[in-house]
Structure 1
C-alpha cells in the first residue's frame, strides 16, 4: 500500500515539475529592418489569440502599444511626446506604424502589455507578487 502511494506521489511530483518548465520567453520589441515600424515578436499563443479577438470585437482599439519620443538628455525644456500611429496584428507578431516616420538619432520608449501577467508560479512561491500589472518597456534608438 505504501509503495503504491509513494510511487503515485513521486509520479505526480515529476509530472508537476515537467509541466512547470519555463519555456515561455518574453515578447521581443524591436524596429523593423527598414526602421519604419516597431515590431513585437515572440508572442505566446494565448496572448495572440486574445489580441486578435479583441481587435475583431473592437477594431478601433489602437492602444495595445504606446510609443513615446524621449527628450534629449541635455534638453531640459523638451517633454516626452506620444507618437500616434496604427497597430496591425499579423500572423504571430504585432506591428506599430507611426503616422510620421521615426527620426534618426532619436530614442523611443515602447511600452506594451502584450504577454504581461500579474504573477507566475515562481513569484507566488517567492512572495514577490505585485498588485498592479506592469508593461514591458524597451528603449529603442534609431
Structure 2
C-alpha cells in the first residue's frame, strides 16, 4: 500500500515537472531566424535574430568582417542538370542593423533554386529535446531553399 502511494506521488511529481519544463522551454525567445531574398532579389537577408545570436555575430564582425563564414549559399542543381553537385555562391556578408545580408559577387539567376545554410541561432539542445531523446551528435545548420 505504501509503495502504491509513493508511486502515485512520484508519478504526479513527474507530470508536474514535465509540464513546468515544457512551459520554460516554450518561451518565445528562441525563434528561428527568417531567411529570404531582399525585395529586389539582389541579396539574401537573415533577420529575426535573437539577442544572443546578434551579439555573437557582432563580435565576429568586430574581429574580422572579411573572413566570416556566417552564411553559405549554394546553387541547387536542377532536374535537367548533368552535374548533381551544389555550387558555392561567392559573395560578401554584411551586418546591417539587426540583419545579416549576403550579397553575391554575381547576380542571382532568375528561375534557379538557392540553398542557404547558417548556424546562426541554431540551438545545440533544449530541455525538451533532451527529455524526448531528440539530441543529435552535432549541430545541424538551418537550411532553407529559396527560389529566385
TM-score normalised to structure 2 length: 0.80
Q: Where does the alignment leave 5 or more consecutive residues of structure 1 unmatched?
A: 1-12
How many residue pairs get matched?
131
Which deviations, in whole Å up to 9, do the C-alpha atoms of 1:35-78 show, x marking residues without a partner?
00000011000000011011101222231000001111122235
Measured in 2, the distance between the counterparts of 1:57 and 1:91 equals 17
Q: Distance in 1 between matches of 2:52 and 2:76?
A: 32
User: Deviation per CA, 1:2-52, whole angstroms, max 9, x where unpaired?
Assistant: xxxxxxxxxxx7987664433121111100000000000110000000110
Alignment of 1:139 with 2:145, yes or no, is: yes
For residues 33 and 64 of structure 1, do their structure 2 counterparts lie closer, same or farther at Cα, with a shift above 3 Å needed? same
User: 1:3 maps to which residue?
Assistant: none
Aligned partner of 2:110 in structure 1 is 104
Aligned positions of 1:53-64 closer than 5 A: 53-64=59-70
Q: Please state how far the C-alpha of 1:120 moved relative to its aligned partner.
A: 0.7
Give the deviation of 1:105 after TM superposition. 0.4
Flag structure 2 segments of 5+ consecutive residues without an equivalent: 1-16
* Structure-1-length-normalised TM-score: 0.84
Alignment-derived partner of residue 9 in structure 1: none
Compute the displacement of 1:118 (Å). 1.0
